[in-house]
Structures are given as structure tokens and as C-alpha cells.
Structure 1
Amino acid sequence: MILLTGENLNIEEMRSILFQNEKIELDKNALIRVQNSREAVERIVKEGRTVYGINTGFGKFSDVSINEEDVRALQLHLIRSHACGIGEPFEERVSRAMVVLRLNALLKGFSGIRVDVLERLAYMVNHSIHPVIPSQGSLGASGDLAPLSHLALVLVGEGFVWRDGQHIAASDLWTEHAIEPLVLEAKEGLALINGTQAMTAQGVVNWLEAETLAYQSEWIAAMTMEALHGITDAFHPAVHKARGYVEQVDVAKRMLVWLEGSQLVTVQGQKRVQDAYSLRCIPQIHGASWQVLGYVKEKLEIEMNAATDNPLIFEDGEVIISGGNFHGQPIAFAMDFLKIAVAELANVSERRIERLVNPYLNEGLPPFLSPQPGLQSGAMILQYAAASLVSENKTLAHPASVDSIPSSANQEDHVSMGTIGARHAGTIIQNARRVLAIETFCALQGTEYRGKEKMSPSLQDKWKEYRTFTPSIDEDRIFSIDIERISAYLQKETGFTTYLN
């Protein structure tokens, strides 16, 4: 059970909630803050004070006052009108993350929302009720309005939820649970949708998958080192301490651990003096991506515990400020940075694939790892596929955050496009995983030719594990099946701490 306080939710707790369906509970002290904030909103409505988002219109309509008897209708109109997301839905795990993160932000007690609404959100998490949320349509300021509106629709008995990979009406879901949909009160609609939780939810899932992929890329590269008789001197601790990057030092250390006991790797001068960069510079290249992962994690964990709606209520309602915490620029930058870091893991992997299949570079392995070169093409086109994926990644890695289009009659004249960046980062991660799956497939074959009994004990274990579902190349076959199997297997490890120190 994960306790949500609005203050200290972290990435590892999100891993448990998202990948192991860990349940949540709400901190009692946080609920007191929420109740105090709600009472402030009710006083404002009762006193007839004009405050943005409570009894006014939204965006460019902020100067339109709303009568007390219309504040409920205002919230419902807001949710319905803003629920204009389009395209394929976010994957269900991202939807779950969105509910958790919006709930955690509201627990901070600055939003003026009722405890009842938060308890309903917690019920959704603990009963795996996940809204169907279209993935396109957000500018990343004022927050993720369209995606979060689809989340809020479920609370009022509209929209759709996931069930066994299909979509069912939220109204039917609440009937099954014998629970009435909520009726939103003053400010609650705005509190639910004015935040960065779509980009942050996708960002959290991205980070968890990217972290696992970064660890996996190391043992995969180590297996390639064995297949190519790579030189381990390049991983000597002194080399990396001399430069000073902790992440680089750590990658070199882990590479030596993976290769410990191997009879296939070599030392300087044994076969050649030095390796190509894609082998020799693994700690420098992968280590730089780890630096980015550290930066992104820091920003995500701040945003996961941030109050990102508008206006915010302070000092028991005496101070209400319209600000801009909904602006997604920090996460937009983080996602764009993550795109580059993961794209590079794929870029260097593709170069190692080329070395495994190219008869002029693969140290005597069969051309294209073919069992009958010429008659059978072997892994020739696998390198083509990897090259295609890394090229696509280079296009997707263009920063979304450099773009901005004004909206709401120029009231919202600069936006972050952070949700686009997060979505593209997710696609890059999928592509990179498939590239690394191709390298895995080729490295399995290469080490088999060299003699798997000469591999390091830890990599022998990996070889045996992956050979249970991807057999050797004894004849050309539809290799896309193998790559998808390996990619799916790699992805499944995201939910566990297999590679964590």
C-alpha cells in the first residue's frame, strides 16, 4: 500500500503502482488540508466574491461572471467542452498514472476540491478503473486540458473506461459498482483538468522503460563484445576515473561484471590494438545517456508532487493567486532531452549490429551470420530494419518544446508542447527497444558461433534464457517474429528491479 501525501511520491513507488498494481491510501493530514481549502471556496461562493475559476468563465472568458446557481453547470460545461482529445488513446498504464498523479497533486490542498472527489479518484486506482484518454490534443499549457477532461468525464459518469483491452461506458461501470457518478461543485472541474499530469504520466512510464532499457543495453553490448572478441582494457577503471563522470565509471564497472570469466573477449594486442568506438566507447556513450536519465528523474519527481492547477488557494482562502504552474515547460525540456538520450542508445546499438553482420568487420563470423552465405541471407535485412528505426528516431528527436502556437484568443500565447514531446519519447523508446532486440538476436547467434561455453557465466545465463523462445538461425525464417518476441520480453522487465543497484 502506497501512502499518497501530495509531497513525496517517487518513481519507485510509481513503478509498484503501475506495473504491480499496488494499491494506494490517502494521508489523513493531507485530507485536512484539502477540506480547509474546500471550505475557503465555499465561503467565496457564499459571499459572492468574484474569483477566477470559481465563479467566472475560463481562459479568454475570465471576465465573465457566473451566477451562484450556475456554478455546477459551469463545471460540467467545462469538462464536456474541453474533452476534445483525438487520436489513439494513451496506453492503459499511462491512464492509471494520470489518475494517480492528478490525485497526488490535489492532495497538496491548494485546489479547493472536495475530499469526496479525491476519494473517488482513489477508488478508481484501487479498483483498476482507468479512463480511456485520447493521446492527442494537448498543448501542454494551460496544462493538459483535453486529456484530463476525458479523465474527469469518467467521474461524472460520461466517457469510457478500459476493460480487458476494450472500452466500456463509464455510466455502465458505475452502475456495476452501485455508485452514483459525481456532481462537480464550484472550481472542481477546473481543479481536475488544469495540470500537467498527461505529459508527466507518459513521462514517468517513459522513464521507467528507458531506465530498464539502459541497463539491458549493457548486457546486450557485452554479449556483442564477446561475439566480436572485444578488448576489455577500454573498461579499465582508471580510464573512467580520469574523466570523472560517475555514470561513465558505473557503466564501465557493470560491463566488466557482465564480462567477468569470459574466454571470448581479448586484451590490447592479443588480436588488435583497439576497437571501434561503438565497442570501445560504450561507457562514454551509454554513461552520457545515464546522465540524462538522472536529470529527467529529478524533474519528474518534482512535477509528480507539484501543485499545477490555477488559481491556487493559500492562507485559508485569504490569498488566491492566478499563476502559471500549469505550464509544462520543465517537463517538455525533460522529455525532449530523454528522446535524445534513448535515441543514442539505439544509434550505437545499430552500429554494433553492423559490425556483427558485416563480413569485413565481424572478426571471422559468417557473412550476415548466415548458415549458408549466398543461399541464405541470414541477418542481412535485420540491419536494414535497425537502420530504419534509428533514422525514424532522429526525426522524432526534434524538440517539441521549441514550438509554440498561441491559443484562447492569444490569452495563452506561449505553450510548451510537452505532451507531444512525451508521446514522441515513448515512440523512440519502443523503436530503441526493437533495435536492441535486433542486437540481442545477432549477438546470440554470434556467440553461438564462437562457442557459448566460452561466454562469461552471467552472459551464458542470458543466452540460455533467450534461447528458450528465439532459436538459432539454422535456416532463413520470418525474423520479425523473433524480434517482436525479444522486444516484448525486454519490455516486461520494466515492472521489476532486475537491474537496479
Structure 2
Amino acid sequence: MSNVYYVGSEPLTFDSIELILTQNMKLELSQEVRERIQRCRDYLDRKIEQQDGPLYGITTGFGSLCNKNISPDELSTLQENLVKSHACSVGDEVSPVIVRLMMLLKAHALSLGHSGVQVITVQRILDFFNNDVLPIVYDRGSLGASGDLAPLANLFLPLIGVGDVYYKGKKREAISVLDEFAWKPVRLKSKEGLALLNGTQFMSANGVFALMRAFRLSKKADTIAALSLEAFDGRIDPFMDCIQQMRPHPGQIETGAVFRRLLEGSELINRKKEHVQDPYSFRCIPQVHGATKDAINYVSGVLLTEINSVTDNPTIFPEEDKIISGGNFHGQPLAISFDFLAIALAELGNISERRVAQLIMGLRGLPEFLVANPGLNSGFMIPQYAAASMVSQNKMYCYASSSDSIVSSNGQEDHVSMGANAATKLFKVMDNLDHILAIELMNAAQGMEFRRPARTSPVLEKFLRDFRKEVPFIEDDIVMYTEIHRTVAFLRRYPL
């Protein structure tokens, strides 16, 4: 398989993005894409020469300064000033994988041929990506409308020889790295600074990375919940296909099928039960986990549309002879979706913690707090506290960023999405969910030992054996936080 990905030659998919990131693929522009980019640039140059009236952001100032006309000999300076003045992102440094995603997504959007940039501008972004020259970007400062102005400005300062980058693990001035590669700073032409800064690539990059992680978390939640069901001596009935078909939400049907597959061949699930039904946290897994699957799939559809869109402004249509100032930079579709995803993932943690609580109550033949000598030993009492704390914290993180807006740019940009805030807090929800699921796994695995010699399914027995290689059965009280950390690490690398 070729180790080259041709940017703009085909729509991006999550699979192609994962391959680019994990296989260290190099990015290139095909001749067709180069011609497409150049065709739009040539059209814009002609239009500027012929146009009598102002063109927003091209021959005018920005935002509320849109009525300030700029002379032809200052158009390049206008664009460089834009990048410098807008580089206001603050907070924590954005992780390298997000920076790489931002560059990939921006290069792809510019390569669609409606932004008016030079070929060299897109090529230099690819040069940075291919040589692991990573601009330093910070995670706060975007309103999620007019695009992600502040973080994207920080991302592209190094193109013009300003700002800082990481190269070979060291923080360097951008100009020194450009000199090392014999790259001249890009001399931005009209519209180019706006094309680089206007767009949703900070939101989208965070969203793509979060979504890829969300798919994995959903699978982990199913596997761990199946083990909890076995430890609790639960029933298979709520997972039968016939009941899912009576309410055929796709995620619910899928969850039922996943659990039947995970539990196939289990001695425990098939033995006669004394109880006629299970608590909601077990019985309603298809409905709750299924709703999260549907939410993840919805958000994936929104993101696929977004990352294959042109989101800078104005948008240039060479074939139609139009330059239109619109609002494709507005992050509302992403903001609402990310808030939705946060709620959906938080619910996986919410129901997981309830299963933990059921397992430690001393029900159905299990000892209190899952330890053989409760009283002298506290066993799994306090891990449930920790899980409950994180569940509660996730409820705070589920405040809808998309319901907020603050007027900016002297009232010209009077409604914003706050989609960047929605994107970055997703990772806080997911980090908590990682730990909540780890605590559930510890409880489920501990509970299973009290069901011996009965066995669960071959799939879950293998999962349990692999887990036990790293985290032991707990007979007497030990320091628990180290075991929680080991369990989190196990789950993050375990292939499901």
C-alpha cells in the first residue's frame, strides 16, 4: 500500500484519517488538485483587478472593520497583520495529534478550490505535516464563529516565519526551523490570511479525535457491562432480539446483538435464575447504551460533512463568477453535536456507576463490598465513591456550550456557537468515563471470583484472564488507586 495520501483528491473518512495518523503517511497534492487551487487563485486575482466595489476581507478590513477599504499595495500586509493580531489562543498547549489533525483538515478544505489561496500556501502546510514541524497552539480563545480564529492564527503564524514550533521534540522559533529546511516564509496574498484563520478546523480536529475515542469507549462499556451482568447473575432476556425489534432503534438492536455475542456459551447466563428481573442499570442496557451508539453515529455524520466542507469566508465560485460572503464558518452544527455527544458519553458513566453500586450491596450471594471479610476490610467501598464523584462532575461538563453566545467585534459578530468549548470539554467527560469504566471492570472481575467454579463465555473469560495478568483479585485491603490506574491503562491499550 502506498504511504502517500493525496489531499483533496477524495473525501476524508475516519478510516483514512486514522491511517494517515497511525501509519505516518505523507501528504501530497495531485496535479489535478494543484490546478484546482491555482484556478481559484487566478480568478481572484483577476476579480480584484476588475472589481470596482469592495470585497469583504480581501479589499476591506475584518469584522466590524468591514467598511474600511484597503489600498491595493497593502493587501498582503493586511493578511499578515490579520494572522499576527488574531494569534490570541491561550491556556494549555494543544496535543500534537490535534495539531496534526488541524493541519490535515485545513489543507483538505483549502484544496477544494473555493478559498483563493496560493498553491505554495497549501504545500507549506503539507511540508510542516510531513516533517513533523508542529506549531504551538493553545486550547482556549475560540468563539466557534468566524471560525476558530485564535487557535488557527497560532497554527499558521509559522508559515510566515513568526511564532514557535516543536521540532524533533524541542521548542524552537519558527523562523529558525524554516531556515533549516531552506523554506522561505510564505508571502501571503489577498484573502489568504482570512482563508487560513476562517474555518472550523480546531473544533473539527478535536471532534474527530474525540469521536474516534468515543467509538472505542462504547465498545468497552458493552464488554465491561456484560461482565458485570454475569457477576450480578443477571438475565439474558432483556437482550433478546425479539424485544429490541418491538422498539427498533438501531443502537438498541445493535447493543442486544453485541451482548448476545459476548455472552454466547456462558454457563452463568444460561443457568436457572431465582429472580424474575434485574434492576434498570442491567435490564435497560440495550436502551441506554444503544441511545449512546445512535448519538455517536449522528455526530459522526455531522463531522464527516464538516471535514469535507469549505468553511472559510468569503467563498469563491470561479465557475459561477461569484464571491459570496456567508456564514459557513459558524460552528453551530458542531457545537450542538458535541454537547449531544458529551451527554451521551456521560450516560455511559452514569449507568456504569449504578451497576457498581448494585455489585457492592451484598445482593444475590455476593459479599458486601465484594470482599470476603467485610468489616475488617472495606473492599470496594470507596471506588464507588470515586465513580460517583466523576459521574457528578460529568453532569457539570454536560452544560450545553451551544446554548451560550457572547457578542463580539463591536456587534458585527453578534451570535457565536461556543463550539470550541463544547469540543474541548468532551475530553474531560471521556477521561472521567475511562476511570468510571475501569472501576466497574474491577468490581465486575472481583464479583466473578465469587461465582466460581461457574464460568462465563469464552470471550469474557479471555478478557478476564488478560485483565488478571495486570490487576489481581483483592483478598484483603490494599492501596486501591494504583489498581485503578493500572486498570485504566489496561483498558486504553486493550484491543476490543
Same fold (TM over 0.5): yes
Query: Does 1:320 find its partner at 2:331?
Result: no
The Cα of 1:473 is off from its aligned counterpart by: 1.5
Q: Is the 8 A contact 1:206 1:426 kept in 2?
A: yes
Q: Is the 8 A contact 2:402 2:419 kept in 1?
A: yes
In the alignment of these two chains, the number of paired residues is 492
Cα deviation per residue 1:129-173 (whole Å; 9 max; x = unaligned)?
Answer: 222211111110111000100111121222223357664332333
Q: Distance in 2 between matches of 1:164 and 1:344?
A: 40
Q: Is the 8 A contact 1:75 1:185 kept in 2?
A: yes
The Cα of 1:452 is off from its aligned counterpart by: 7.0
Q: Distance in 2 between matches of 1:348 and 1:449?
A: 23
Q: What SS class does the counterpart of residue 269 from structure 2 fall into?
A: coil
Counterpart in 2 of 1:455?
456
Counterpart in 2 of 1:441?
442
Q: Is the 8 A contact 1:40 1:316 kept in 2?
A: no
Q: What SS class does the counterpart of residue 398 from structure 1 fall into?
A: coil
- Structure 1 residue runs without a partner (length 5+): none
Q: Which sits farther off after the overlay, 348-357 or 118-127?
A: 118-127
Q: Distance in 1 between matches of 2:172 and 2:381?
A: 45
Counterpart in 1 of 2:19?
16
Counterpart in 1 of 2:119?
115
Counterpart in 2 of 1:467?
468
Query: Does 1:86 find its partner at 2:90?
Result: yes
Cα 1:458–1:318 shift into 2, 3 Å: same
Counterpart in 1 of 2:233?
229
Q: What SS class does the counterpart of residue 296 from structure 1 fall into?
A: helix
- Structure 2 residue runs without a partner (length 5+): none
Q: Distance in 2 between matches of 1:271 and 1:34?
A: 70
Q: What SS class does the counterpart of residue 134 from structure 2 fall into?
A: coil
Query: Does 1:486 find its partner at 2:455?
Result: no
User: Which one of 220, 226, 230 corresponds to residue 224 of structure 2?
Assistant: 220
The 5 Å alignment of 1:50-449 reads 50-163=54-167, 167-266=171-270, 270-315=273-318, 318-359=321-362, 361=363, 363-449=364-450
Cα 1:164–1:449 shift into 2, 3 Å: farther
Q: Which sits farther off after the overlay, 18-27 or 427-436?
A: 18-27
Q: What SS class does the counterpart of residue 24 from structure 1 fall into?
A: strand
Q: Distance in 1 between matches of 2:172 and 2:34?
A: 31
Q: Which sits farther off after the overlay, 54-63 or 199-208?
A: 54-63
Q: Is the 8 A contact 1:6 1:106 kept in 2?
A: no
Q: Distance in 2 between matches of 1:135 and 1:16?
A: 25
Query: Does 1:33 find its partner at 2:36?
Result: yes
Let me know the Cα RMSD of the aligned residues: 1.9
- Opposite residue 390 of structure 1, the aligned amino acid is V
Q: Is the 8 A contact 1:207 1:293 kept in 2?
A: yes
Q: What SS class does the counterpart of residue 450 from structure 1 fall into?
A: coil
The percent identity for this pair of structures is 42
Tell me the TM-score normalised to structure 2 length: 0.95
Q: Distance in 2 between matches of 1:305 and 1:489?
A: 35
Q: Distance in 1 between matches of 2:385 and 2:93?
A: 30
Q: Distance in 2 between matches of 1:211 and 1:426?
A: 14
The Cα of 1:241 is off from its aligned counterpart by: 1.0
The Cα of 1:406 is off from its aligned counterpart by: 0.7
Q: Distance in 1 between matches of 2:441 and 2:172?
A: 39
Cα deviation per residue 1:240-288 (whole Å; 9 max; x = unaligned)?
Answer: 1121112211111110111111122256x62210111111111111001
- Opposite residue 428 of structure 1, the aligned amino acid is V
Q: Is the 8 A contact 1:76 1:189 kept in 2?
A: yes
- Opposite residue 110 of structure 1, the aligned amino acid is H
The Cα of 1:316 is off from its aligned counterpart by: 5.0
Cα 1:489–1:38 shift into 2, 3 Å: farther
- Opposite residue 292 of structure 1, the aligned amino acid is A
Q: Distance in 2 between matches of 1:452 and 1:65?
A: 82
Q: Distance in 2 between matches of 1:272 and 1:439?
A: 22
Cα deviation per residue 1:406-445 (whole Å; 9 max; x = unaligned)?
Answer: 1000000000011111111121111111111111111121
Q: Is the 8 A contact 1:369 1:378 kept in 2?
A: yes
Q: Distance in 2 between matches of 1:197 and 1:36?
A: 24
- Opposite residue 102 of structure 2, the aligned amino acid is M
Q: Is the 8 A contact 1:36 1:316 kept in 2?
A: no
Q: What SS class does the counterpart of residue 111 from structure 1 fall into?
A: coil
The Cα of 1:231 is off from its aligned counterpart by: 0.5
Q: Distance in 2 between matches of 1:2 and 1:192?
A: 21
Q: Is the 8 A contact 2:79 2:192 kept in 1?
A: yes
Q: Distance in 1 between matches of 2:262 and 2:453?
A: 14
Q: What SS class does the counterpart of residue 57 from structure 1 fall into?
A: coil
- Opposite residue 328 of structure 1, the aligned amino acid is G
Q: Distance in 2 between matches of 1:285 and 1:475?
A: 35
Q: What SS class does the counterpart of residue 265 from structure 1 fall into?
A: helix
Q: Distance in 2 between matches of 1:390 and 1:20?
A: 35
Q: Is the 8 A contact 1:453 1:460 kept in 2?
A: no
Q: Distance in 2 between matches of 1:178 and 1:445?
A: 60
Q: Distance in 1 between matches of 2:490 and 2:72?
A: 56
Q: What SS class does the counterpart of residue 365 from structure 1 fall into?
A: coil
- Opposite residue 20 of structure 2, the aligned amino acid is I
- Opposite residue 147 of structure 2, the aligned amino acid is G
Q: What SS class does the counterpart of residue 158 from structure 1 fall into?
A: coil
